[in-house]
């Protein structure tokens, strides 16, 4: 500033100097790849051919998206998938009704409404007579991913919430129990799948051994179409309960003691207090945990890739694994990138929801 | 009241034990001889007690096979990534939180948007890009892409924003330059936040699977996480169950030890990083 600062940097110069290392890596390894991904998705781009000859790609516009997501003679019907569409209508009605009755914040009502509308519209598409999907595996794969999310998210959320409510005391014993429940969270996905692959093994598995002692017949968890998805969900809940539990514990700390004391005067203790006092006060934490878990589990890859290899009969084939296979086994980078863009759009939507939900909290 | 509490602890110990069983089982199997395991995995109390006992699996692990090498790769990659992320995040976080310059809001928003891009949406173009450079099968290929994720920048930015301004202003009045203030005044204050970020990064790096799977195709450049995946599909024929389990234990030891020592930071880090897996 004065006198001795002859060659001193100005504030802006210092700022750019400090920002430069991050901005360069950010532009090179995140921004550029992101746009390059969209660019690749507009090409017929074979991994091996382009590697040997950079001109071996052809621009095809949106054809990859059509080849992945669309088909010939696709029609839309109101009663194509009565269960899911019916569920969507129920959701729509609920969102309007609960909003009217003021049981739902505007944000939650809109979220529920949009999700329900999608549930009404999307499953309605189906190939008409003599029509077919160009890619028979894509939508079932998306469906499997949604089933996985639909099972893992409530599983994690509910068990984490119940555990957090039970463990919400500052004593040594409770601290030790919290540590135990959190421990599996730090393991890598390959350790988790290693453990559970053998846990579920019908010949060597611990679960099979216990079933046999109890006189039952062991289940072929990972190769039975009925149980494979359940097995992956169980391993996932075991793995990812910890963070949700900690978020709930933080949420519980914010509920003041006085509310519980007042409730106790009204004879609301234990389960009753949990239902009438804890749950309503945890609403925001629940939203946060659910959205975080949806984002996290929509990217499921390792569990399906290592435990079941997407099988049996594609019942555990999930979106990221399909992208990986399309790109690196079939070398169809264009199509794989189109699917990756689809994934980004879904995850981006939930990230925006998370951002808004996070803002509502403060 | 007191009695209810003891019942609660007792009641919770049962699910807690069940929660621990899969991990215990892995550890126990790793201490049993392979020929026993080939016949039965439930010799003593469903195999949860390692009897007959042996440490052969561990000595075999370290005398031949690639596990020690993979372990070393993991250490190098994880430490490299941790140092790299600390360097770019503290500097950028400080600049965005404390310095004024034209375009600051725009840069902040651009970085914020990057939080929404999942790894899976960028790994294909990253693959072709690194292939063009001939960078695959190297340590920097495993480290660099992760350094572009802005979560650390935001963590540090939020931390620096919370530090009172007068500390900085006192230094400014003495004519200290911005870089010196960053280095001598702000960085020492940022140690707890840096610790949290370091642990978050180390855990992520150690457990990362998808990008190493795509980028490291030579077994010499496998991380332990990737190596473990490569041996678990055909463990029965080649390595023996006990040895694979021993690899699993070795692969988990650093993160478990880190967790037990720095539990508070780990919990904080994983809660903050929850959104980015």
Residues A31-45: pLDDT tens digits?
999 999 999 999 999
Residues A112 and A246 in one domain: no
pLDDT of residue B234: 66
Q: How many CB pairs under 8 A join A and B?
A: 281
pLDDT of A362 over the 50 cut: no
pLDDT of residue A232: 96
Residues A154 and A226 in one domain: yes
* B47, B179, B245 ranked by CB distance to A14: nearest: B179
Residues A101 and A211 in one domain: no
Pairwise CB contact (< 8 Å): A209 & B47: yes
Q: Is A145 inside a domain boundary?
A: yes
Pairwise CB contact (< 8 Å): B175 & A5: yes
pLDDT tens for B58-102 read 988 887 778 899 999 999 999 999 999 999 999 999 999 999 999
Residues A201 and A282 in one domain: yes
On chain B, the residues whose CB falls within 8 A of the CB of A4 are 175
* B228, B256, B277 ranked by CB distance to A186: nearest: B256
pLDDT of residue A256: 83
pLDDT of A246 over the 60 cut: yes
pLDDT of B237 over the 60 cut: no
Residues A101 and A214 in one domain: no
Pairwise CB contact (< 8 Å): B270 & A354: no
Distance separating alpha carbons of residues A285 and A251, to the nearest angstrom: 6
Pairwise CB contact (< 8 Å): A198 & B41: yes
Q: How far is A184 from chain B (nearest CA, A)?
A: 8
> Residues B235-244: what's their mean pLDDT?
74
* B16, B22, B277 ranked by CB distance to A196: nearest: B22
Residues A301 and A195 in one domain: yes
Distance separating alpha carbons of residues A234 and A196, to the nearest angstrom: 9
pLDDT of A4 over the 50 cut: no
State phi, psi for A43 to the nearest 5 degrees.
-125, 155
Q: Is A192 inside a domain boundary?
A: yes
Distances (CA, A) of B264 to A246, B82, B199, B271: 11, 18, 11, 11
Pairwise CB contact (< 8 Å): B23 & A14: no
On chain B, the residues whose CB falls within 8 A of the CB of A9 are 177-179
Q: For residue A310, is it left (φ>0), alpha (ψ between -120 and 50) or beta? A: left
> Residues A339-359: what's their mean pLDDT?
84
The confidence band for A195, taking pLDDT boundaries of 50, 70 and 90, is very high
pLDDT of B42 over the 90 cut: no
pLDDT of residue A2: 43
pLDDT of residue A1: 43
Pairwise CB contact (< 8 Å): B248 & A194: yes
Question: What CATH number corresponds to the domain at position A185?
Answer: 1.10.3720.10
pLDDT of B166 over the 70 cut: yes
DSSP A192-223: HHHHHHHHS-TTT-HHHHHHHHTTPPPP-GGG
Q: Which stretch of A127-141, B186-200, B259-273 has the lowest confidence by average pLDDT?
A: B259-273
Domain boundary among A133, A149, A173: A133
Q: How far is A131 from chain B (nearest CA, A)?
A: 31
pLDDT of A62 over the 80 cut: yes
* B101, B175, B248 ranked by CB distance to A191: nearest: B248
**Pick among B43, B120, B181 to test the A interface (most A CBs inside 10 A):** B120
pLDDT of A350 over the 70 cut: yes
Distance separating alpha carbons of residues A71 and A128, to the nearest angstrom: 10
Confirm if A154 and A235 have CB atoms less than 8 A apart.
no
Q: Is A27 inside a domain boundary?
A: no
Q: Is A239 inside a domain boundary?
A: yes
Pairwise CB contact (< 8 Å): A25 & B88: yes
pLDDT of A155 over the 90 cut: yes
pLDDT of residue B275: 46
Q: Is A72 helix (H, G, I), strand (E, B) or coil?
A: strand
pLDDT of residue A5: 47
On chain B, the residues whose CB falls within 8 A of the CB of A327 are 124, 127
* B23, B91, B116 ranked by CB distance to A351: nearest: B116
Q: Is A321 inside a domain boundary?
A: yes
Residues A161 and A302 in one domain: yes
pLDDT tens for A287-322 read 889 988 998 999 999 999 999 998 899 999 999 999
In chain A, which residue's Cα lies nearest the Cα of B215? A328
**Pick among B124, B183, B243 to test the A interface (most A CBs inside 10 A):** B124
Task: Find out whether the peptide bond into A207 is cis, omega within 30 degrees of 0.
Answer: no
Residues A224 and A282 in one domain: yes
Pairwise CB contact (< 8 Å): B270 & A51: no
* B22, B252, B271 ranked by CB distance to A199: nearest: B22
Pairwise CB contact (< 8 Å): A14 & B13: no
Domain boundary among A89, A115, A133: A133
pLDDT of residue A3: 41
Pairwise CB contact (< 8 Å): B203 & A186: yes
* B13, B15, B117 ranked by CB distance to A344: nearest: B117
Q: How far is A29 from chain B (nearest CA, A)?
A: 5
pLDDT of B36 over the 60 cut: yes
Give the number of domains in chain A.
2
On chain A, the residues whose CB falls within 8 A of the CB of B99 are 11-12, 14-15, 18
Say what the pTM is: 0.91
* B94, B100, B120 ranked by CB distance to A11: nearest: B100
Residues A108 and A209 in one domain: no
In chain B, which residue's Cα lies nearest the Cα of A163? B12
Residues A167 and A295 in one domain: yes
Q: Which stretch of A207-216, A241-250, B78-87 has the lowest confidence by average pLDDT?
A: A207-216
Q: Is A255 inside a domain boundary?
A: yes
pLDDT of residue B277: 36
Q: By percentage, how much of chain A surpasses pLDDT 70?
A: 96
On chain A, the residues whose CB falls within 8 A of the CB of B245 are 194, 198
Radius of gyration of chain A (CA): 25
* A26, A180, A327 ranked by CB distance to B150: nearest: A26
Pairwise CB contact (< 8 Å): A177 & B9: yes
Q: How far is A250 from chain B (nearest CA, A)?
A: 10
ipTM entry: 0.90
In chain A, which residue's Cα lies nearest the Cα of B271? A243
Residues A200 and A280 in one domain: yes
Residues A211 and A121 in one domain: no
CA angle B225, A220, A192 (to 5 degrees): 20
Neighbouring residues of A68: CB distance < 8 A, sequence distance ≥ 6:
A134, A135, A138, A335, A338, A339, A342
Q: Is A235 inside a domain boundary?
A: yes
Longest dimension (CA), chain B: 77
Pairwise CB contact (< 8 Å): A337 & B120: no
Q: Which domains does chain B have, with CATH numbers?
A: 69-228+259-276 (1.10.3720.10)
pLDDT of residue B147: 93
Range of the domain at A113: 76-133
Average pLDDT, chain B: 88
pLDDT tens for B101-124 read 999 999 999 998 888 888 888 899
- Please state the three-class secondary structure of B62-85 as a single string: HHCCCHHHHHHHHHHHHHHHHHHH
pLDDT of residue B126: 94
Q: How far is B250 from chain A (nearest CA, A)?
A: 10
List of long-range contacts for B214-218, beta carbons under 8 Å, 24+ apart: B214/A324, B214/A328, B214/B123, B214/B127, B215/B127, B215/B130, B215/B136, B215/B137, B215/B141, B215/B142, B216/B136, B216/B137, B216/B141, B216/B142, B217/B136, B217/B137, B218/B137
Q: How far is A67 from chain B (nearest CA, A)?
A: 19
Q: Is A66 inside a domain boundary?
A: no
On chain B, the residues whose CB falls within 8 A of the CB of A182 are 259, 267
């Amino acid at each position: 500033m004065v006198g001795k600062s002859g060659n001193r940097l100005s504030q802006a110069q210092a700022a750019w100097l400090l920002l430069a290392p991050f901005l360069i890596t950010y532009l090179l390894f995140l921004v550029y790849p992101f746009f390059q991904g969209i660019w690749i998705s507009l090409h017929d781009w074979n991994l091996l051919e382009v590697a040997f000859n950079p001109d071996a790609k052809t621009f095809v516009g949106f054809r990859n998206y059509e080849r992945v997501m669309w088909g010939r003679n696709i029609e839309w019907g109101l009663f194509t998938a009565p269960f899911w569409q019916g569920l969507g209508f129920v959701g729509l009605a609920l969102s309007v009704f609960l909003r009217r009755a003021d049981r739902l914040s505007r944000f939650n009502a809109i979220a529920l409404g949009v999700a329900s509308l999608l549930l009404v519209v999307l499953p309605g598409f189906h190939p008409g007579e003599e029509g077919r999907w160009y890619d028979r595996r894509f939508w079932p794969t998306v469906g499997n991913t949604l089933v996985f999310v639909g099972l893992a998210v409530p599983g994690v959320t509910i068990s984490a919430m119940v555990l957090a409510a039970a463990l919400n005391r500052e004593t040594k014993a409770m601290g030790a129990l919290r540590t135990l429940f959190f421990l599996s969270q730090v393991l890598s996905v390959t350790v988790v799948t290693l453990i559970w692959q053998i846990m579920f093994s019908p010949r060597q598995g611990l679960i099979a051994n216990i079933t046999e002692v109890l006189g039952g017949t062991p289940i072929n968890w990972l190769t039975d179409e009925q149980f494979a998805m359940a097995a992956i969900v169980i391993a996932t809940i075991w793995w990812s309960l910890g963070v949700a539990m900690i978020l709930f514990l933080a949420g519980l700390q914010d509920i003041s003691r006085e509310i519980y004391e007042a409730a106790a005067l009204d004879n609301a203790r234990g389960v009753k207090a949990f239902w009438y006092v804890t749950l309503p006060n945890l609403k925001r934490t629940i939203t946060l945990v659910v959205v975080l878990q949806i984002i996290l589990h929509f990217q499921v890859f390792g569990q399906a890739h290592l435990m079941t290899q997407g099988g049996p009969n594609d019942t555990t084939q999930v979106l990221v694994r399909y992208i990986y296979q399309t790109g690196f086994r079939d070398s169809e980078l264009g199509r794989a990138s189109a699917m990756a863009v689809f994934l980004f759009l879904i995850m981006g939507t939930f990230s925006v929801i998370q951002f808004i939900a996070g803002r509502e909290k403060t | 009241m007191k009695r209810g509490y003891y019942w609660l602890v007792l009641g919770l110990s049962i699910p807690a034990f069940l929660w621990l069983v899969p991990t215990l089982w892995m550890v126990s199997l790793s201490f049993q001889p392979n020929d026993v395991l080939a016949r039965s995995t439930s010799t003593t109390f469903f195999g949860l007690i390692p009897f007959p006992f042996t440490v052969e699996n561990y000595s075999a692990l370290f005398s031949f096979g690639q596990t020690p090498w993979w372990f070393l790769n993991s250490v190098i990659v994880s430490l490299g990534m941790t140092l790299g992320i600390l360097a770019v995040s503290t500097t950028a976080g400080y600049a965005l939180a404390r310095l004024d310059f034209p375009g600051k809001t725009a840069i902040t928003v651009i970085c914020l948007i990057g939080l929404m891009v999942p790894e899976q949406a960028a790994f294909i173009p990253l693959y072709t890009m690194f292939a063009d450079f001939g960078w695959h099968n190297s340590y920097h290929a495993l480290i660099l892409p992760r350094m572009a994720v802005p979560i650390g920048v935001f963590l540090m930015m939020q931390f620096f924003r919370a530090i009172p301004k007068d500390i900085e202003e006192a230094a400014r009045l003495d004519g200290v330059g911005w870089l010196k203030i960053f280095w001598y005044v702000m960085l020492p204050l940022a140690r707890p936040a840096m610790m949290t970020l370091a642990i978050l990064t180390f855990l992520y790096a150690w457990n990362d699977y998808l990008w190493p799977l795509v980028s490291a195709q030579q077994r010499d450049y496998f991380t332990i996480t990737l190596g473990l995946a490569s041996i678990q599909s055909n463990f029965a024929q080649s390595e023996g169950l006990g040895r694979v389990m021993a690899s699993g234990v070795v692969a988990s030891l650093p993160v478990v030890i880190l967790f037990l020592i720095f539990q508070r930071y780990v919990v904080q880090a994983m809660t903050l990083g929850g959104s980015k897996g």
